[in-house]
Structure 1
Amino acid sequence: MNIQPLHLKKGDKIAIVCPANKLKKSITPAVSLFESWGLQVIQGKSVHAAHFQFAGTDELRAADLQTFLDDVEIKAILAARGGYGGIRILDQLDFTSFNKCPKWIAGFSDTTALLSHIQAAFNIQSIHGQMPASFETGTPLSLETLRKALFGEALHYSYSSIDKNRHGQAEGILIGGNLSLLVAMQGSISEMDYAGKILFLEDVGEHEYAIDRMLRMLKRGGKLAGLKGLIIGAFNEIEPQEIPFGQTPEELIMEIVREYDYPVCFNFPVGHIADNNALIIGRNAIMKVGYNEVKLAYK
């Protein structure tokens, strides 16, 4: 059974930390938006720290996150940005207090490592959504979906389909995140259980061959065969190659999963894009992929 943390209410305290790369700019606009939602915002030491490309040393970032995992007054923890570095501190963290008193953890990109770990190890729901560093470029709708996810309001998605989709309907627990990070979790205690799940994937700045290789690794590991459904978000900023790969991400994905019969949809509004809508990892969802429309709703 997946555990749902208590939803936020006005007056609650939330914390912002940087588990990975250091911030390049102020997150004051994000803090102001959180405050307009009626929340009290606490910024961790890592928000203002720097150590080479990281938001402070591994020890500082781990201690910062640990402080808020243990603080029962903090009702949600948001990663300020991604980049790289979360995997370096995962094994330094003690989730004992967090497991006894779950709270929302939210972010995307590199934060997938943390979201994957708490789903795999504790079956605690989390939020894949916009981070403070991306608030200024995020669409108002994407920020509103994050607010709704945190405050427990209904989330329903519907968007125009494309002809590469495989039609059908599925129900199951939603898991997923950044493809590169999900592959990095394989073989560890942070690897989510894929069997019977609806999987969503996104990535940025990868070659087509790297996307192909990572997906084939998941397939060879038996992760794709038992899915209920597959949701493909943005695979953008693909690096050009001197010799073209010959397939788009959509084409290679459909080739890899062609032997399965579950529904597959593309261009879902999630990933390293302005319209990065919030998805709740670990919650039961229903996806409907029709001829010209895709719908996703939580039960």
Structure 2
Amino acid sequence: MIKQPPYLKKGDKIGLVCPAKKLPKSIDTAIAVLESWGLEVVIGKSVYASHHQFAGTDELRTRDIQQFLDDTSIRAIISGRGGYGSIRIIDELDFTVFKQHPKWFVGFSDITVILSHIIAQTQTQCLHAQMPYTFEESTPSAIESLRASLFGEPQEYSYTSTFKSRAGVAEGILIGGNLTLLVTMQGSVSEMDFDNKILFLEDVGEQEYAIDRMMRMLKRAGKLAKLKGLIIGAFNEIAEEKISFGQTAEEVIWDVVNEYDYPVCFNFPTGHIENNLSMALGANVALTVENKNVHFKYL
């Protein structure tokens, strides 16, 4: 059973950290948004720290996150941004107190490392969602989906895909995140269990051949055969190759999973996009795909 942390309420304290890359700009606007929700924002030392491309040294970032993991007055931890660096510190973090006093951990992209570890090692729900670094470019609906997720308000998402889908209905536990990072977690203690789950994937800045390689790695490892459903989010900023690969990212993924019979949808609003809607990893969800119409809701 995957535990659900207590939802937030006005007056709660939340911690702001940067587990990976340093912030190149102010996030005061995002902090003001969080405060407008009635939350007290406690800013970690990593938020303003700098060590080469990282938000402080590995040791500083580890201490910063650990402080908030252990502080039971902090009801959620939000990552300021992604980038690269979470894998350098994940094995130094101690989740003993976190297991006893679960709280929401929020982020996406490189933060998939921490989210995957939390699911694998603590069986606690966490949020793949917009981060303060991306608030200013975000759609209002993406920011609202984060607020609603944190405060426990019911949510349903519906949209029409522009790419072919495989019709079907599925209910199950939601897992997923950034494809590159999920592949990186394979074979480690941070690897999520894919069996009988609804999986969502997104990525940015990868070429088609790399997406093909990673998807086929997951397939060969038996990670795709026993899914209940597959949700494909944004695969954007794909660099053009000198010699065309001959398939789009969507066509690559479709080829890899075409033999299975579970529902598959594309163009889901999650990932490195303005309308990056919150996805609660570990939550029980329902996915309905009919032609190109997709409906997703939390149960």
The corresponding residue for 1:29 is 29
The answer to whether structure 1 residue 160 and structure 2 residue 192 are counterparts is no
CA distance in 1: counterparts of 2:43 and 2:163, whole angstroms: 45
CA distance in 2: counterparts of 1:280 and 1:126, whole angstroms: 6
Q: Which amino acid aligns with 1:198?
A: I
- Deviation digits for residues 142-196 of structure 1, max 9, x if unmatched? 0000000000001100001335111111111000000000001000010000000
CA distance in 1: counterparts of 2:90 and 2:255, whole angstroms: 34
Checking the alignment, whether the CA contact within 8 Å between 2:250 and 2:266 is kept in structure 1 is yes
Q: Which amino acid aligns with 2:62?
A: A
The corresponding residue for 2:105 is 105
CA distance in 2: counterparts of 1:222 and 1:291, whole angstroms: 27
The corresponding residue for 1:184 is 184
CA distance in 2: counterparts of 1:198 and 1:247, whole angstroms: 25
The corresponding residue for 1:253 is 253
- Deviation digits for residues 106-155 of structure 1, max 9, x if unmatched? 00000000000000111100000000000000000000000000000011
CA distance in 1: counterparts of 2:168 and 2:249, whole angstroms: 21
CA distance in 2: counterparts of 1:187 and 1:133, whole angstroms: 31
- Deviation digits for residues 18-42 of structure 1, max 9, x if unmatched? 0000000011001100110000001
The answer to whether structure 1 residue 60 and structure 2 residue 64 are counterparts is no
Question: What is the aligned length?
Answer: 299
The corresponding residue for 2:291 is 291
The corresponding residue for 2:90 is 90
The corresponding residue for 1:20 is 20
The corresponding residue for 2:11 is 11
Q: Tell me the TM-score normalized by structure 1.
A: 0.99
- Deviation digits for residues 197-254 of structure 1, max 9, x if unmatched? 0000000000000000001110000000000000000000001100000001111111
Q: Which amino acid aligns with 1:15?
A: G
Q: In 2 relative to 1, CA 163–50 (structure 1 residues): closer, same or farther, beyond 3 Å?
A: closer
Checking the alignment, whether the CA contact within 8 Å between 1:55 and 1:61 is kept in structure 2 is yes
Q: Which amino acid aligns with 1:288?
A: T
The corresponding residue for 2:232 is 232
Q: What secondary structure is seen at the aligned counterpart in 1 of 2:112?
A: helix
CA RMSD of the aligned region, Å? 0.6
Checking the alignment, whether the CA contact within 8 Å between 2:20 and 2:82 is kept in structure 1 is yes
1:100-179 alignment to 2 at 5 Å? 100-179=100-179
Q: What secondary structure is seen at the aligned counterpart in 2 of 1:135?
A: helix
CA distance in 2: counterparts of 1:292 and 1:217, whole angstroms: 27
Unmatched runs of 5 consecutive residues or more in structure 1 = none
Report the Cα offset of residue 258 of structure 1.
Answer: 1.1
Q: Which amino acid aligns with 2:185?
A: M
The corresponding residue for 1:219 is 219
CA distance in 2: counterparts of 1:186 and 1:224, whole angstroms: 13
CA distance in 1: counterparts of 2:249 and 2:169, whole angstroms: 22
CA distance in 2: counterparts of 1:141 and 1:257, whole angstroms: 30
Q: Tell me the TM-score normalized by structure 2.
A: 0.99
CA distance in 1: counterparts of 2:108 and 2:171, whole angstroms: 23
Report the Cα offset of residue 280 of structure 1.
Answer: 0.3
> Structure 1 residue runs of 4+, over 3 Å off?
none
Q: In 2 relative to 1, CA 163–82 (structure 1 residues): closer, same or farther, beyond 3 Å?
A: closer
Q: Which amino acid aligns with 1:186?
A: Q
The corresponding residue for 1:202 is 202
CA distance in 2: counterparts of 1:95 and 1:120, whole angstroms: 12
Checking the alignment, whether the CA contact within 8 Å between 2:172 and 2:196 is kept in structure 1 is yes
Q: What secondary structure is seen at the aligned counterpart in 2 of 1:173?
A: strand
Checking the alignment, whether the CA contact within 8 Å between 2:163 and 2:266 is kept in structure 1 is no
Q: Which amino acid aligns with 2:278?
A: A
CA distance in 1: counterparts of 2:111 and 2:295, whole angstroms: 26
Checking the alignment, whether the CA contact within 8 Å between 1:69 and 1:95 is kept in structure 2 is yes
Checking the alignment, whether the CA contact within 8 Å between 2:11 and 2:38 is kept in structure 1 is yes
The corresponding residue for 1:282 is 282
CA distance in 2: counterparts of 1:271 and 1:84, whole angstroms: 16
